[in-house]
Amino acid sequence: MRTDHQIFTLSNGIRILFKPAKSTISHCCLVINAGSRDEHPGEPGLAHFIEHLLFKGTQRRTTNQILNRLEVVGGDLNAYTTKEYTCLQASFLKSHLERAMDLLQDIAFFSTFPKEEMEKEKKVILDEIASYEDQPEEAINDDFESMLFAGHTLGENILGTVDSVKKFDQKDIASFIAKNYNTHEIIFAVSGSYNPVKVLKLAEQYFGVIPENKSPKNRIAPLTIPVQKAIVKKPINQAHCMLGSRAYSFNQEQKTGLLLLNNLLGGTGMSSRLNLEIREKHGIAYTIESNYSPLSDTGLFAIYFGTDTEKVAKTLKLIEKELTKLREKKLGLIQLAQAKQKFIGQIALGEENRMGVLISMAKSLLDYDKIDSLKEVFFKINKVTADDMLQISNEIFDQNQLSMLLFEPE
């Protein structure tokens, strides 16, 4: 386990994660193991709606007071919702730790969700939904997930639908929070130049007073569905395509190998196989990338590209060619070593993003009840063999198991 952090558990179950950092800038985040997949059927968008409303008034503060509390001292406050998490985050000068902790505690646990603010925020989210519809590269991601997880809350759009957002009321909010804001599944994390005793004392003061909530998590894994292919006509100028399948959960051993494979195939950087073959060599797609997202009981692997309609067929053939290579031929020793070196280097560079690292550590604590050191992470990557990569490629990149969604211009 990492030796660069300390973990404290409060009597109500909330865990405090402290990562020392020699800097005049500090970061903190509150990560709650509750996301859009925890919504009841028929109420998509509720977790995201609540996240928006946390900034709209508490028992002690108005919206303006919340928004100004950190900004008046040059700090930053933000939040986001995913399928499985809600995250509040703040960055600020070292001297304002207590101010940030007080604010995050207030909005996370003492928001009042005023009706008039709810109605205003509904309009904001409806505009956000409309905005996404105007961005096919964003919309196709959501629609592809809806295809792969049809009939399950993982397939619902995080933003919700126009109809669902309009129907939300205070009872829906109170019910979701009571069922999902389990204090034993909440992490408050801090990175900064502080004495751990001070951090724990402030954490006790602000988060130790929160009543314990032990609501059990009742997530249901999605059922297997057949491979699907769909073409949708849209008022767009360029074709957009998603190709992929379900993949490993974050608890499966093959996860590390698929992360490595994904990075080699179409991950970060211009030297991925798909980018070199399709963009650099053939010049037929400005954007082509792959992504692997492990979740608690499943995962998603997908390839995305945008190109002219007449170039879609050729792009798909070139993608199939790259996937076939990975399925039929083991990586050589040099190829595998280079893939690992690249991935490890990218992870090491990512340590410069202190907020990103802090959130990642908090999520790891939620998911695994531990936080691996970089040394342990690198060990897992280096342990992946060429045989592992071949087996994973044949499981995940099987052409007969890949679903496809294509947006075509009308």
> Is 295 domain-assigned?
yes
Q: Are residues 247 and 148 in the same domain?
A: no
> Is 96 domain-assigned?
yes
Closest CA to 87 of 322, 378, 356: 356
CB atoms within 10 A of CB 178: 11
Q: Are residues 12 and 70 in the same domain?
A: yes
**Given CA atoms 125, 127, 130, 136 in this order, what sign does their dihedral have?**
negative
**Given CA atoms 317, 320, 322, 324 in this order, what sign does their dihedral have?**
negative
Burial of 352 by CB count in 10 Å (0-12 exposed, 13-18 middle, 19+ buried)? exposed
pLDDT digits (tens, 9 = 90+) for 184-198: 999 999 999 999 999
Q: Which residues of the chain have pLDDT under 70?
A: 1-3
Q: Are residues 61 and 146 in the same domain?
A: yes
Domain enclosing residue 396, as ranges? 229-409
The count of structural domains within the chain is 2
Q: Which amino acid type is present at position 389?
A: M
pLDDT confidence of residue 1: 44
Q: Are residues 155 and 267 in the same domain?
A: no
Cα–Cα distance for residue pair 196/192, rounded to 1 Å: 10
Residue with the two structure tokens 């007969």: 400
Residues, the chain, total? 410
pTM above 0.85, yes or no: yes
Q: Are residues 378 and 263 in the same domain?
A: yes
Q: Are residues 272 and 202 in the same domain?
A: no
Q: Are residues 169 and 240 in the same domain?
A: no
Cβ pair 296, 367 in contact under 8 A? yes
Domain of residue 356, CATH code: 3.30.830.10
β-pair type (186-192, 239-246): unpaired
% of the chain residues with pLDDT over 90: 96
Name the domain boundary from 207, 242, 274.
Answer: 207
